[in-house]
Structure 1
Amino acid sequence: MANRVVVSQPGNMKPTFVPDQWNTGLFDCCDDFSSCCYHYWCFWCIACKTSEKYGECLCMPLVDFLGLGGSVPAFAMALRSDMRERYGIRGTMVEDFMFSSVFPACVYCQISRELKIRKQAVTFINTHHRSATLL
C-alpha cells in the first residue's frame, strides 16, 4: 500500500490593476455608475470626499471652487500629479495641467475610481490538501 500525497499550488496571481498606468480613462465616468451620478449631482461633495479618501484635507477642493488658485484648479492638478507619483503612473505635469484645467470634474472622478481599484483588498486562497490515501 502506497500513500500518495497530493499538493496543489495556486497559479500566478495577477494584480487587479495595471501598475504603471491609469486603470480607467479620463472619460470613463459611466464605468462606475453610482460615482458618475454622485459627481453629476453633487460634484463638490464627491471632490471633497475623494480628497479625504486620498489622505488630504477634506476642504482642499474648495480652494479650486473659490478660485483661489487662479484660473487653473490647482488642487485638482496637484492631487492628480501626486497620485501619479505615488502609484508610479506614467504621465506628465503638462497632461495634469491640461486635464485639470479643462475637465476638473472628470479628473476627480478618475481619481475616485483609481482609489477604489487600488485600495481593494487582495485575497489569497490556499488550496493545499494535506494528504490523500488510496486503498
Structure 2
Amino acid sequence: MTPLVISQPVSSLASDEWTSGICNCFDDVPDCCLAFWCLPCYMCITSRNYGECLCLPLLDVFGFIPPSGMSMRASMRERYRIKGTICHDCVCATFCSPCVWCQMSREMKKRTIPIVLGDIICR
C-alpha cells in the first residue's frame, strides 16, 4: 500500500501586494467591459471561480456596504497573504465595487492557486 501524500499548492507569486491596482482595468479589458455592462453577472461568475456560492454577490443589493464584495476581498487577502486592512476593503468595496471585482478576478488569474474541495481539484 502506497502512502497518500498531500501537499499545499504554492503560489506562482510570492508578493504581499495586489498584482494590479484597483483602476488597472486595461490589464483585462474583456473582463472590465463585462463588469461595467453587467456587474451582477460578473460578480456571480467571479464568486463561483473563487469557490463561493454562485448567488452570494446578490446580497450586495440589500445595503449600503456590500457584504460579499468586502468579505471576499478580505478572504482573498488572507488566502494570498496580501497586506491590507478590513477598513480599506470596506471602503474599496463600497465606493469602487466594479473595479474591486475586476481586481479580484485579475488576482485569481495571476495567482493560479487551485481550490481543493475534498478529492476534487478545481482550477
Q: What is the TM-score with the length of structure 1 in the denominator? A: 0.72
Query: Is residue 56–residue 68 contact of structure 2 (8 Å, CA) maintained in 1?
Result: yes
RMSD, aligned CA: 1.7
What amino acid sits opposite 1:99 in the alignment? C
Q: Could you tell me which residue of structure 1 aligns to residue 25 of structure 2?
A: 29
After TM superposition, list the pairs within 5 Å mapping 1:39-50 onto structure 2: 39-50=35-46
Q: Could you tell me which residue of structure 1 aligns to residue 117 of structure 2?
A: none
1:92 corresponds to 2:88: no
- Single out whichever of 16-25 and 80-89 deviates more from structure 2: 16-25
- CA deviation after TM superposition for structure 1 residue 30, in Å: 1.6
- CA deviation after TM superposition for structure 1 residue 113, in Å: 0.5
CA separation of 1:114/1:101 partners in 2, compared to 1, >3 Å: closer, same or farther? Answer: same
What amino acid sits opposite 1:81 in the alignment? A
Query: Is residue 12–residue 112 contact of structure 2 (8 Å, CA) maintained in 1?
Result: no
The separation in 2 between residues aligned to 1:72 and 1:24, in whole angstroms, is 23
Which of 48, 51, 65 pairs up with 1:52? 48
Larger radius of gyration: 1
1:64 corresponds to 2:60: yes
1:112 corresponds to 2:108: no
Q: What is the TM-score with the length of structure 2 in the denominator? A: 0.79
Higher helix share: 2
- CA deviation after TM superposition for structure 1 residue 120, in Å: 7.4
The separation in 2 between residues aligned to 1:55 and 1:92, in whole angstroms, is 22
The separation in 1 between residues aligned to 2:68 and 2:35, in whole angstroms, is 17
The separation in 2 between residues aligned to 1:56 and 1:103, in whole angstroms, is 21
| Unaligned runs of at least 5 residues, structure 2 | 1-10, 115-123
- CA deviation after TM superposition for structure 1 residue 17, in Å: 3.5
Question: With CA pairs under 8 Å and 6+ residues apart, which has the higher RCO, 1 or 2?
Answer: 1
Partner SS for 2:64: coil
- CA deviation after TM superposition for structure 1 residue 19, in Å: 2.3
Q: Which stretches of structure 1, 4 residues or more, deviate above 2 A after TM superposition?
A: 15-19
- CA deviation after TM superposition for structure 1 residue 35, in Å: 0.7
